């Protein structure tokens, strides 16, 4: 694989698309440079430090007639796709709440990054993809002083979706805890899974989906989620997670063959006016 000393050299060599994964403080200028050169772009998170800065990049992509995407690969996590199937099956009845917790034990970034802008964008995007737009948010976060500056290292968000469903997403770093849990509650039952970050772990171990696509991205059977309904308890095996599908959809969008996003889940949802008095949905 060729190595170039700068983005300018890479663009001069001739590419159709570019993935930019540099530190947050450098990302804006690189995205704008690539778009100005007529190249499609995938930008890592944090996509931008503010909504106005993000709009600037979106406007630049529209003006250039290029596709600009955020690296929301975690829509293709195995545990999320398995949960999507459970919600879509209707077996939980009307959906009341979905909880997503992702604790990490890793070094944290400075004020340009932070946990909420990084992993938090994934967790919020996952819930909006599953449950639809959000009408209100209650948030709490915890900050720490680091050599790079003050930054957030933990957060809890309660999201009220337009549908009446509530989701709660939370994460921590620097707490010496590493665990991923998804829970869903509905009028007919519950679903819970504690999963591994199987694709990220596989990549870190030097494996590649192109070399083992058929068996890639499945969580271990011992971690199968548990669905509880009036019919009893049932283990729900992992469906396949597939980060490569993100780039396949991106390539089709660049070729004008479809939108760069998978369809949202269709689930049975509660209506705010149908919530029994005295009980939160």
The enclosing domain of 36 has a CATH number of: 3.40.50.720
Rounded mean pLDDT of 91-109?
A: 90
Identify whether residues 152 and 213 lie together within a single domain.
Answer: yes
Identify whether residues 223 and 89 lie together within a single domain.
Answer: yes
Identify whether residues 37 and 124 lie together within a single domain.
Answer: no
Say if 247 falls within a structural domain.
no
Q: State the residue for tokens 């680091």.
A: 146
Judge whether 196 and 102 are in contact, CB under 8 Å.
no
Whether the pLDDT of residue 75 is over 50: the answer is: yes
Whether the pLDDT of residue 111 is over 60: the answer is: yes
Identify whether residues 35 and 96 lie together within a single domain.
Answer: no
Q: Is 131 exposed, middle or buried (0-12, 13-18, 19+ CB in 10 A)?
A: buried
Q: pTM for the complete prediction?
A: 0.86
CATH number at residue 89: 3.30.360.10
Question: Can you give the pLDDT at residue 125?
Answer: 95
- Where in the sequence is the domain holding 146, given as residue range(s)? 74-241
Whether the pLDDT of residue 100 is over 90: the answer is: yes
Rounded to 5°, the CA angle 131-68-256 comes to: 90
Identify whether residues 151 and 20 lie together within a single domain.
Answer: no
Identify whether residues 201 and 98 lie together within a single domain.
Answer: yes
Interatomic CA distance for residues 107 and 105, integer angstroms: 7
Judge whether 48 and 54 are in contact, CB under 8 Å.
yes
Identify whether residues 159 and 179 lie together within a single domain.
Answer: yes
Say if 271 falls within a structural domain.
no
Say if 225 falls within a structural domain.
yes
Phi, psi (rounded to 5 degrees) for 65? 70, 30
Identify whether residues 61 and 189 lie together within a single domain.
Answer: no
Rounded mean pLDDT of 128-142?
A: 96
Identify whether residues 49 and 149 lie together within a single domain.
Answer: no
Say if 41 falls within a structural domain.
yes
As for how many domains the chain has, the answer is 2
Identify whether residues 42 and 78 lie together within a single domain.
Answer: no
């Amino acid at each position: 694989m060729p190595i170039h000393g700068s983005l300018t050299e890479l663009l001069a060599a001739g590419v159709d698309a570019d993935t930019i994964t540099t530190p947050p403080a450098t990302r804006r200028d690189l995205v704008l440079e690539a778009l100005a050169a007529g190249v499609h772009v995938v930008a890592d998170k944090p996509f931008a430090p503010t909504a106005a800065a993000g709009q600037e990049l979106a406007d630049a992509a529209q003006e250039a007639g290029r596709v600009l995407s955020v690296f929301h690969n975690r829509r293709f996590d195995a545990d999320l796709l398995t949960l999507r199937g459970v919600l879509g099956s209707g077996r939980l009845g009307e959906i009341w709440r979905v909880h997503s917790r992702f604790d990490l034990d890793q070094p944290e970034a400075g004020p340009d990054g932070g946990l909420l802008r990084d992993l938090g964008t994934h967790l919020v995007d996952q819930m909006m993809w599953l449950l639809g737009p959000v009408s209100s948010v209650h948030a709490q976060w915890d900050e720490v002083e680091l050599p790079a500056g003050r930054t957030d290292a933990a957060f809890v968000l309660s999201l009220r979706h337009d549908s009446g469903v509530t989701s709660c997403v939370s994460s921590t770093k620097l707490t010496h805890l590493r665990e991923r849990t998804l829970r869903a509650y509905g009028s007919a039952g519950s679903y819970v899974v504690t999963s591994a970050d199987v694709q990220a772990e596989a990549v870190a171990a030097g494996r590649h989906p192109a070399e083992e696509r058929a068996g890639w991205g499945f969580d271990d059977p011992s971690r199968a989620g548990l669905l509880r309904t009036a019919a009893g308890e049932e283990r729900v095996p992992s469906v396949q997670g597939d980060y490569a599908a993100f780039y396949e959809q991106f390539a089709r969008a660049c070729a004008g063959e479809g939108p760069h996003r998978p369809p949202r889940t269709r689930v049975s949802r509660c209506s705010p006016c149908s919530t029994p008095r005295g009980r939160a949905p």
